[in-house]
Structure formats: C-alpha cells, structure tokens
A and B are shown apart, each in its own frame.
Chain A
Amino acid sequence: GQQLNQSPQSMFIQEGEDVSMNCTSSSIFNTWLWYKQEPGEGPVLLIALYKAGELTSNGRLTAQFGITRKDSFLNISASIPSDVGIYFCAGQPGNQFYFGTGTSLTVIP
C-alpha cells in the first residue's frame, strides 16, 4: 500500500512554543488532510488542503500543501496543553485514503 512518512515521530515541547511537523509520500496526492486523535477517540479533521501550494489556517493551526504534491506541513503556534494528542496526515492519490504513521505531541505546562 501507499507509504506516508510523518516526522517527527514524537515531540515534547514547552507550553507556548511553536510546533512543526511534516508528511511525505512516495507519489503525488490530490488531497492532503490533517487529523488529531486523542486517546480512546477517533480522529478529528483539522484542516483539508486541495491544491498544490495552498496554505490554510484553522485558529492556531496552519497547514500547507507542498508544491511537489508529495508533501504537506502542519504548524501549531503558541501551543497549549490541550494540543496534546497524535496528529495524522492523510492523503488521497486516487480514490482511496492513506494515513500517515502519526506524530505524538506532548505539551509540558
């Protein structure tokens, strides 16, 4: 199946710091999505990207659809404790969706 590599695998940051994570694929994607999953819950959609180069914000979150269409980035500014969770990228090269391996974020108050 499709491989989506996310990095970093985990992050431990101080409250108030900015966070950056990325996702790369082996093929061109038509859509990139970013989800957040908290323990024992299903993923929640944060941002959806549909065009190469697109930059979209949702509050303190900003995501970009890479120009090559093989990568995407998510930034979180001024992190707060409730940002804790696992962040997944998901991409759609055709009809099916593929999820990345996840970035686990821990915010230290």
Chain B
Amino acid sequence: EAEVAQSPRYKITEKSQAVAFWCDPISGHATLYWYRQILGQGPELLVQFQDESVVDDSQLPKDRFSAERLKGVDSTLKIQPAELGDSAMYLCASSLEGADNEQFFGPGTRLTVL
C-alpha cells in the first residue's frame, strides 16, 4: 500500500542549531502539505505545495522556517535556528490534485529542542 514517507522519525537538537526534515509523498500526489502538531493539539498547516510551487505559506514563520519541493516530488522543511518552542511533531501529508479534502499523512518527525 502506498504511504507517505518521512525521515527522521525522531530528532533531538539544541537550540540555535539547524534541523531538516524530509518527506516523500505518495506517488502521483501533486499536493504536499507540512503541518506542525504541538502536543495535545491538532495539526496546524505550515505550508502547502502544488507540484513545486508554494500555494499557501501564510502560517510559516519565514524568519526561521523554509520549505522546498524543487522537483515537485519530495520535500524538505528546514528550521534555522531552532528554538525551544519548535518542539513538536512535524507531519507531512499528500493528496491528489484537487482532492485536498482527502489528505494522507506520514508518520511524522518528533522534534525535541533542548
């Protein structure tokens, strides 16, 4: 069964360091999403891609967060420098074009900033 792949599953870093997360969506899914989920809360959209283009990054803290999907397939989310408040689960999801109401999520990357 096709799945969204994410790595690493867990990341521990010290504040002010740079971290990067990788996501490989389900083959054929043109739309890719990055969410942040703070413990005890629901996921919050950070950025949405349609192929290689950003369609919504209004909630992305652009002073320290960046995301790219250069070839319209896999994607990287980077935080530099990491802050204590960035500790959270970072989830990637994908969907078919025009079917953003049926998003499939990856297992997430659990980030801990010390």
* B contact residues, range: 20 to 34
Which chain A residues lie closer than 8 Å to B4 at the CB level?
A: 42
Query: Does A44 sit at the interface, judged by CB under 8 A?
Result: yes
A42 and B101 contact, CB distance less than 8 A: no
* Cβ 8 A contact of A45, one of B91, B102, B106, B108: B102
A100 touches B (CB below 8 Å): yes
Residues of A within 8 Å of B48, CB to CB, are 96
Q: Does B103 contact A (CB under 8 A)?
A: yes
Stretch from B13-21, B37-45, B75-83 forming part of the interface with A: B37-45
Q: Given B42, B93, B107, which contacts A102 in the complex, CB threshold below 8 Å?
A: B42
- State whether B107 touches A40 (Cβ < 8 A): yes
> Across the interface, do A99 and B56 meet the contact criterion of CB distance under 8 Å?
no
Give the contact-size bracket for chain A: 20 to 34
Q: Within 8 Å CB of B49, what residues of A? A: none
The answer to the question of A109 belonging to the interface, with a C-beta cut-off of 8 Å to chain B, is no
A99 (CB) vs chain B CBs: closest residue: B42
B41 and A102 within 8 A (CB): yes
**Cβ-defined contact, B59 with A42, below 8 A:** no
Are A40 and B110 within 8 A (Cβ)?
yes
Contact yes or no, A101 B41, CB < 8 A: yes
| Minimum CB–CB distance for A46 against chain B, Å | 11
- Among candidates B43, B44, B59, residue contacting A43 with C-beta atoms closer than 8 Å: B43
Question: How far apart are the CA atoms of A95 and B44 in the complex, in Å?
Answer: 14
When distances are taken between beta carbons in the complex, the residues of chain A under 8 Å from B41 are: 101-102
Residue in contact with A4 in the complex, picked from B42, B59, B105, CB distance below 8 Å: B42
**With an 8 A cutoff between CB atoms, is A59 at the interface?**
no
Per the 8 Å Cβ criterion, residues 96-114 of B in contact with A are 100-108, 110
Instruction: Name 17 extra pairs, CB < 8 A, besides A92-B100, A96-B45, A99-B44.
Output: A1-B59, A31-B101, A35-B105, A40-B107, A41-B108, A42-B105, A42-B108, A43-B43, A43-B105, A45-B102, A88-B43, A92-B101, A97-B45, A97-B100, A97-B101, A99-B43, A102-B40
Binding site for B on A (CB under 8 A): 1, 4, 31, 33, 35, 40-45, 48, 50, 88, 90, 92, 95-102
